[in-house]
Structure 1
Amino acid sequence: MTLETKLAGVPFAADLARFGDRVAVSTPGRSLSYRELAGQVEDMARAFGPGRRLVALEAGNTLPALVAYLAVLSAGNPLLILPTGGGSAGDALLAAYEPDVVVRASGSEAVLDVRRDQARHELHPELALLLSTSGSTGSPKLVRLSADSIQANAAAIAEYLQLRPSDKAATTLPLSYCYGMSVVNSHLLAGASLALTDLSVVDPCFWDLVRTEHVTSFAAVPYTFDLLDRVGFQDMDVPSLRYITQAGGRLAPDRVRSYAEQGRRQGWDLFVMYGQTEATARMAYLPPDQALQNPQAIGVPIPGGSFRLEPVPGLDAAELVYSGPNVMLGYADRPEDLSLGRMVTELRTGDLARVGPDGLYEIVGRRSRFVKIVGLRVDLGQVERLLADLGVAAAAAGSDDAVVAAVEGDHDLALIAKTLAQDLGLPRAAVELYPVEAIPRLGNGKPDYPAVAALACAGEEDDGGPAEVPDAGSTDVRRIFAEVLEVDDVAGTDSFVSLGGDSLSYVAASVRLERALGYIPEGWHLMPVCELTPAPHVADAAVEPSGKAAPSRDGAGTPARRVRRRLFAPMETGIVLRAVAIIAIVSTHIGFFHWQGTAHVLMAVAGYNFARFQLTGNRMERFRRHLRSIARIVVPSVAVIALAFAVTDKYALHNVFLLNALVGPEGWSDYSRFWFVEVLVHILTGLALVLAVPAVDRLVRRWPWAFGMALVVVDLPLLFGLVESRYPGQGPVLWLFGLGWAAATSRTLWQRWAVTVLAILAVPASFDNPYRSGTILAGCLILLWLPTLRVPRGLHRVTALLASASLYIYVTHWLVYPLFDSDNPLDKGLAVLASLACGVLYWAAATRVMGLAERWLKRRPFSRATVEPAAAQRS
């Protein structure tokens, strides 16, 4: 059989129709039988065409994504799973492996991006599925799984859970996560059904769904149990619930025992499970009747699998080694590895284990020097190297809660710990440094890591652990979103964008979030709240276990001196550009100094932010969000312009209605002062209407970067004077908005270079003034190539404040600075400061008033009449 031969797919995915009219999947307002699901899967499989190609899928908890997932597996095409929501992780995988077909869910359908008709890479006949290794999503290192492994693991899970056709699982975990995927596979193999949802367990609608759909099980990771505690699960009446499964990390034994006892009282079972992506998800399970007596154990091997303990040289411990039909073929680090066959026959887990007389296995440690904290793999060896680079001799241990390091010598531990947390991308509370006279060592001279780890326990017993200095009022991420976005309820599955966040509220939210978490995750505006909730002990400063501040150490070349050199911290480029631009705009208009072109840079920033915040969600959700964002610009702007029209003679009625660019006199005049707001509102309104068209919506979802480039190209005839423009004073600016859009959606190096070339060709034609053109070009390229800029830490808050209030400063400064009618440079400086201050005050008042108005409108009877039926349908 050649590698190009079309092979049979995963059996359970190819044979769905055998369960006939049983319900396979339930979604809000709709249920599909196995026969209907099989029909959709077959139609999708045919769409892939003949030949065997690598297919990449954004696997969210939607029906189109589920159908596409099953279609690829059933057709025998190797499937590369991408994380949901796009972003840099998915882009890295696409760039590394160049799949032949990319599938994304768009509304109620799956959109196929067929990039080539034949396979680009040589694909091994057994290769069926490619998954990122746990904790390294987006890494080019992938786990290669065969159809037999997927089928075998699904069958084993169905066997030990005793799945039956009457079972129904709620999809509490994403399909892109191997644990969530195993829930789907095992239930569909057994003829059971799925309640397809992305609701969080903290959402009341989730529990309405559980009761309405008679859900019998759901999957949980350790953090899920924190959420269950929060919503009072112990007092809930869920009569249909038959069992809960737990994996994705170690659950503390006391919690295992507590939930096992609750399950016994309420009539459901707790299945504690152990697995790795390399074994297609599951390797062991703890029988529910053993959870009370042995809550620390991972249990017994799954059906068809087996464990052995292999002694580890130099350690009085043994590594757990697993064998079974679900073990991966091997890893892939590059596209050439997709042609490889089986390279692995058993899985060395990297975990140290022991087995009791009752045959139950227990994990007692890790052989590898890795821990996983807040979903990120942390190399403890790298921790020691980072500390060594700071001139610190240390030994690092840790758990899935925190990195713990013993530090020799007299150092400023507070500054070092904060720097280390930033370098590792961890919350500040996840790094604990303890001073020691000498690093604990074993008889052979190697560091005694168990003794290092015990420092954390000693600190907790003696002094309550490292002191906590929470940022008052900012530790609750839900409250941050609720206050910034003026919403009443924030669920764990909500994100900043889904709650209506836009560029006007983004800055305030990002600054408060960074203070709450100690860092700002990339793509946080698209992440669910439950992934942003800070760890229980978020601290902004580290102190010694005694609770006293660690002593400072000065002097050239000392660690403290090196840390203090880090006076600059990164801020998002868009935020910095908004702050700098508004200062330059106001100063130029007042004559304090002259720096032209920054308003045009802001137009590019507007396009950049539109592409980031306004292209997610289904079409109607986006349309409502577009209108809301436009209203947030129009209402405060028109209020000021109307006041200016009433108290001065410099403006006309068409200014109040933002129509000067269309019906006012041509050329630059006093009437043109609000041109930026007018043109921005025109662009946003036009895009809202265009993107509401289904065909355009599909086009933009499939080729977002190309659409941004098209906006540039459409405007070039106006820019080069080939078509007469209504904006001779400022020139056309849609192309700048498009450049910003293209910058935000550039995912590959060649795309960035294409945008760069286009900017270099277009910008010089924007104005005859080379300095203004140079400013515009520099701003666009900085936005494209530099995601962050380093800003003095002391200026972060004022920068964020000016960026947040930039629109309000722009519309109010025309009324403020004429009050300082003087050529004195000091008076001009005071006029700049007064304009900035008045704009900030107006921003604070106007956003508060608009937030209250939005809340009031939501509570109106007509609002409830339209919302409640939708909520009922959703649940």
Structure 2
Amino acid sequence: MTTQLDFARVPFAADLSSYGHRPAIIADGRTVTYLELGQRVGDLARDLGGERRLIALAASNDVDSLVAYLAALTGGHPLILLPEDKPAALGSLIAAYDPDVVLRSAHGEFSLEERRAGSRHDLHPDLALLLSTSGSTGSPKLVRLSHANLQANAESIATYLGITPEDRAVTTLPVSYCYGLSVINSHLLRGATLVLTGLSVVDPCFWDLCRSERVTSFAAVPYTFELLDRVGFSGVELPSLRYVTQAGGRLAPERVRHFAELGKNRGWDLFVMYGQTEATARMAYLPPRLAVDNAGAIGVPVPGGSFRIDPVEGLPDGELVYTGPNVMLGYANQPEDLALGRTLTELRTGDLARKNAAGLYEIAGRRSRFVKIVGLRVDLGQVEQLLSAIGVTAAAMGDDDMLTVAIEGGHDTNLLTKVLAQGVGLPRAAVGLHTVQELPRLGNGKINYPAVAALVRQRQAEQGTPDPGASPSGAAGQDSVRRIFQECLELTEISDTDTFVSLGGDSLSFVAVSVRLEQLLGHLPPDWHLRTVGALERTPEHRHPSEKEPGRIQKKRLLARMDTGVVLRAMGIVLIVSTHIGLLEWQGMAHVLIAAAGFNFARFQLTGRRLPRLRRQLTSVARIAVPSMAFITFAYLVTDRYSLANVVLLNAILGPEQVTTQWHFWFIEDIVYILLAMSALLAVPWLGRAERRFPLMYPLALFSAGLLTRYELIEPNVPHTLPALWLFALGWAIARARNLPQRVLVSALTVLTIPGFFDNHNRELTMIAGILLLTWLPVLPVPRILSKPVVLLASASMHIYLVHWLVYPPLVETSPALAVAASLTAGIAYWSLCNAVSYTRRRRGRKAEIRQATILPSPATTD
């Protein structure tokens, strides 16, 4: 249905032109005055029509997005606001709410998709803005905000920050994020200037921009402060900076004190703030003069707002309740909810709070039974229900680093940890189980969680909690099967029934585990990755070296038997880098490694139940994609050879068809695309069952489908990439070939399909030889003196491939051999750095568990 325009005005959006020729926006070196901005907003508002319609905006930090946002407010059109770089979330909300108009702005292009002339929605006249409570996930649960909410919060923020027309705020946060949006609203309200940029604080150009445009403030979330430390912010000269704001989560008190004191010394203020999307952005702020002495507080209510603390039975702290004109109208879960008016007048924050001696509010924890661990929202009640369903009485607690569960009675904690980690989707290292004789309870029979936390702490003190930095169980300096698994897979609890695959092992960890097991056992069974830890420990070869025959010891010192896939990865990366640099000409190994990737996928990623298997597959993809994207981001920032499509691994889809430097990372994109596609296929129940029932025929069917692009019988519209699917499927089939006829079949397919793929016989012969080695020789003898270099090169092969594109160009003219050596060394260094970062994160999580007696206080906001 359509509704004639009859709406409350938002003055800061409707009265832009009143500030005349003052600068409103500075972006890409161009200044847009308030008069120009008001004209552009008015023009777009007229284009959106004279009837209220539901609009969805996929926004980025650019002028077009800001104009679209303001035009919707000015025209009275309720707006669903989302980030431009989350198309899946946009698609989900379009499907859920069926907006009448969809606006998109990115990369200098603006589009207006009018899906119908009028509107099919009944829109309440007060409804102005709809924001997600769960970031950019596309959840249909939205916060309904009114025009009055936006105006009131903008005025409140502008008041306590003392914003004037002379202020200039740089955009460090997305416009689609309520914290970032509040910066825009409050500055437009006062006729101040917005410096729009997508640059990060780690980019030197960001600070150059701040100086050249005389920026007076910027907004930060806790992670921003970590980045500020990395770039040496304390030494950055910013003569015009007046204040820094912090919200979006709890900043540790010691960090608050550090930056408050830094600001005092450097002439700017730190405003610590507290808010939730449900209150349009801000509910409290800590006056800068009080920050050093009250670093754990959220401060006082924003102007126009008030707090009260309602008692919570059984807890010393009560729930914080906020009242003010910025409190939302209510939630929307479906299109029909858009017709609702105000359904609540106060906001129950879900945070437990207290007042300190200075009269400031402090957050003591969460009343709601939710925690966010490694980015995943975990329902503690669901954890208890999951265990209850298998007959285990439990009390679940947690913080931002660890899920801690106390279980009543005697149970196998190793098994339950595995079940729980898989059930809630957490890494095993983030789940801590502790047995207690009886769970403490309140008089009403409910679990006494503070007492449980104290009891868990007592048990930890009695039993000792293993330090991830300490050596796992076993004699010092002496390997065991269990110790190898613990160290290489970075786990602390491993049972006799675990296998390499069930513990989440993949092709990246396979290298280190297989080499150390071969050294320990003397002979590594071909199916070792599927054998249990107990079975491996009972193998006849599992004896201390002193027990073995002298002749065998002599032989072992000369040769090591290494997995063929490991050797191919090590050889392959050396030949790939050497060929790119021009030290020698030996092409074809990259395509051998694609077949090896399919081979490893079949070995490590196809066992177990559907959902745990899918999580394991996606984790394996992340171990490739995350370090790749991190390095490519660095390459994008320091060179002009790459694009944002490279950063997000979408060059094959969005990049140029002609081969340029932007195609350097094609191999990474290939592997990620194929692994995601295979994981998606196997997530379909009937396809998963088909793979288990026909383990060889399934990859052969994929191989046949891949031949359609290999022989260009169909046009995939993704240049240079999809033709690799047939090689991946061929490697998968090799892993499933169990007997002589099957190996002969896959060998014949190799010999028949590879010739003609390239107009280079040597390249094709290399591919055939590598794949046949993978088919017929599960292990290869390698001089023991080379075993460690082979392990290093194979483990770091992906990282070497990434970094060599930046390392060799300045060295190749001096010495190609030096360029190769430097590339290999730099790649190993980057691999080591990635491992160190991962290890440090896990170590901190484990130590946090030891330090905490109860749930860590967390002002868990949905900013």
Asked whether the two chains share a fold, i.e. TM above 0.5, the reply is yes
SS at match of 1:166: coil
Aligned residue number for residue 384 of structure 2: 384
Shift of 1:174: 1.0
> Partners in 2 of 1:36 and 1:363 — Cα distance?
44
> Partners in 2 of 1:729 and 1:278 — Cα distance?
51
Aligned residue number for residue 166 of structure 2: 166
Aligned residue number for residue 362 of structure 1: 362
Shift of 1:261: 1.7
Aligned residue number for residue 434 of structure 1: 434
Matched, 1:815 2:765: yes
Alignment of 1:438-587 (within 5 A): 438-454=438-454, 466-468=466-468, 541-543=490-492, 549=493, 552=495, 579=595
> Partners in 2 of 1:818 and 1:413 — Cα distance?
48
Q: Measured at CA, do residues 51 and 830 of structure 1 come closer, stay the same or move farther in structure 2, by a change above 3 Å?
A: same
SS at match of 1:140: coil
SS at match of 1:248: coil
CA contact (8 A) 1:135 1:377 kept: no
Q: Measured at CA, do residues 61 and 859 of structure 1 come closer, stay the same or move farther in structure 2, by a change above 3 Å?
A: farther
Aligned residue number for residue 873 of structure 1: none
SS at match of 1:298: strand
1:771-800 per-position Cα deviation (integer Å, ceiling 9, x unaligned): xxxx99xx9xx9xxxxxxx9xxxxxxxxxx
One-letter amino acid matched to 1:334: Q
Q: Measured at CA, do residues 35 and 444 of structure 1 come closer, stay the same or move farther in structure 2, by a change above 3 Å?
A: same
CA contact (8 A) 1:92 1:138 kept: yes
CA contact (8 A) 2:220 2:247 kept: yes
CA contact (8 A) 2:280 2:328 kept: yes
Where structure 1 has 5 or more consecutive residues not aligned to the other structure, the ranges are 472-537, 544-548, 555-559, 585-609, 635-726, 745-774, 783-789, 791-805, 862-875
1:21-65 per-position Cα deviation (integer Å, ceiling 9, x unaligned): 221111232222212222222222222122111111112212221
Shift of 1:613: 6.7
SS at match of 1:129: strand
1:645-669 per-position Cα deviation (integer Å, ceiling 9, x unaligned): xxxxxxxxxxxxxxxxxxxxxxxxx
SS at match of 1:169: strand
One-letter amino acid matched to 1:263: G
One-letter amino acid matched to 2:66: L
One-letter amino acid matched to 1:94: I
Q: Measured at CA, do residues 251 and 632 of structure 1 come closer, stay the same or move farther in structure 2, by a change above 3 Å?
A: closer
1:168-187 per-position Cα deviation (integer Å, ceiling 9, x unaligned): 11211111111111111111
Shift of 1:399: 2.3
Q: Measured at CA, do residues 215 and 850 of structure 1 come closer, stay the same or move farther in structure 2, by a change above 3 Å?
A: closer
SS at match of 2:298: coil
1:688-709 per-position Cα deviation (integer Å, ceiling 9, x unaligned): xxxxxxxxxxxxxxxxxxxxxx
Alignment of 1:237-256 (within 5 A): 237-256=237-256
Alignment of 1:225-236 (within 5 A): 225-236=225-236
Where structure 2 has 5 or more consecutive residues not aligned to the other structure, the ranges are 472-486, 508-590, 601-642, 668-706, 737-752, 781-789, 814-863
Aligned residue number for residue 294 of structure 1: 294
Aligned residue number for residue 510 of structure 2: none
Q: Measured at CA, do residues 625 and 228 of structure 1 come closer, stay the same or move farther in structure 2, by a change above 3 Å?
A: farther
Q: Measured at CA, do residues 104 and 846 of structure 1 come closer, stay the same or move farther in structure 2, by a change above 3 Å?
A: closer
1:262-293 per-position Cα deviation (integer Å, ceiling 9, x unaligned): 22222111111111111101111111111122
Q: Measured at CA, do residues 451 and 315 of structure 1 come closer, stay the same or move farther in structure 2, by a change above 3 Å?
A: closer
CA contact (8 A) 2:10 2:73 kept: yes
Aligned residue number for residue 188 of structure 1: 188
Matched, 1:321 2:271: no
> Partners in 2 of 1:335 and 1:66 — Cα distance?
25
Aligned residue number for residue 259 of structure 1: 259
CA contact (8 A) 1:83 1:137 kept: no
Aligned residue number for residue 27 of structure 2: 27
Shift of 1:341: 0.7
Shift of 1:192: 1.1
Quick one: percent identity of the two aligned structures? 53
Aligned residue number for residue 55 of structure 1: 55
Aligned residue number for residue 480 of structure 2: none
Shift of 1:138: 1.6
> Partners in 1 of 2:657 and 2:11 — Cα distance?
43
Q: Measured at CA, do residues 110 and 729 of structure 1 come closer, stay the same or move farther in structure 2, by a change above 3 Å?
A: closer
1:821-869 per-position Cα deviation (integer Å, ceiling 9, x unaligned): 9xxxx999549999xxx9xx999999958964554558999xxxxxxxx
One-letter amino acid matched to 1:196: L
One-letter amino acid matched to 2:107: G
1:411-464 per-position Cα deviation (integer Å, ceiling 9, x unaligned): 554564455445434455543333333333334432222244456766888899
> Partners in 2 of 1:378 and 1:859 — Cα distance?
50
> Partners in 2 of 1:87 and 1:576 — Cα distance?
34
CA contact (8 A) 2:4 2:50 kept: no
Aligned residue number for residue 105 of structure 1: 105
Shift of 1:6: 4.7
Alignment of 1:274-313 (within 5 A): 274-313=274-313
Aligned residue number for residue 221 of structure 1: 221
Matched, 1:126 2:76: no
CA contact (8 A) 1:354 1:361 kept: yes
SS at match of 2:174: coil
One-letter amino acid matched to 1:257: R
Shift of 1:135: 5.1
One-letter amino acid matched to 2:401: D
Matched, 1:628 2:578: no
Q: Measured at CA, do residues 64 and 439 of structure 1 come closer, stay the same or move farther in structure 2, by a change above 3 Å?
A: same
Aligned residue number for residue 335 of structure 2: 335
Aligned residue number for residue 45 of structure 2: 45
> Partners in 1 of 2:74 and 2:770 — Cα distance?
74
Shift of 1:167: 1.2
SS at match of 2:400: coil
> Partners in 1 of 2:331 and 2:774 — Cα distance?
65
CA contact (8 A) 1:406 1:436 kept: yes
SS at match of 1:128: strand
Q: Measured at CA, do residues 387 and 118 of structure 1 come closer, stay the same or move farther in structure 2, by a change above 3 Å?
A: same
Alignment of 1:400-419 (within 5 A): 400-411=400-411, 413=413, 416-417=416-417
Shift of 1:615: 9.3
Q: Measured at CA, do residues 79 and 133 of structure 1 come closer, stay the same or move farther in structure 2, by a change above 3 Å?
A: same
> Partners in 2 of 1:84 and 1:458 — Cα distance?
49
How does the TM-score come out when normalised to structure 1? 0.60
CA contact (8 A) 1:270 1:288 kept: yes
CA contact (8 A) 1:397 1:452 kept: no
Shift of 1:104: 1.1
1:374-424 per-position Cα deviation (integer Å, ceiling 9, x unaligned): 554321112222344565432111223332222344555456445544543
CA contact (8 A) 1:442 1:448 kept: yes
Q: Measured at CA, do residues 541 and 433 of structure 1 come closer, stay the same or move farther in structure 2, by a change above 3 Å?
A: farther
> Partners in 1 of 2:375 and 2:798 — Cα distance?
39
Q: Measured at CA, do residues 631 and 329 of structure 1 come closer, stay the same or move farther in structure 2, by a change above 3 Å?
A: closer
CA contact (8 A) 1:179 1:247 kept: yes
CA contact (8 A) 2:2 2:121 kept: no
How does the TM-score come out when normalised to structure 2? 0.60
> Partners in 2 of 1:439 and 1:450 — Cα distance?
11
One-letter amino acid matched to 2:22: R
One-letter amino acid matched to 2:86: G
One-letter amino acid matched to 1:23: P
Matched, 1:78 2:63: no
One-letter amino acid matched to 1:203: D
Q: Measured at CA, do residues 734 and 347 of structure 1 come closer, stay the same or move farther in structure 2, by a change above 3 Å?
A: same
> Partners in 2 of 1:829 and 1:392 — Cα distance?
47
Matched, 1:372 2:372: yes
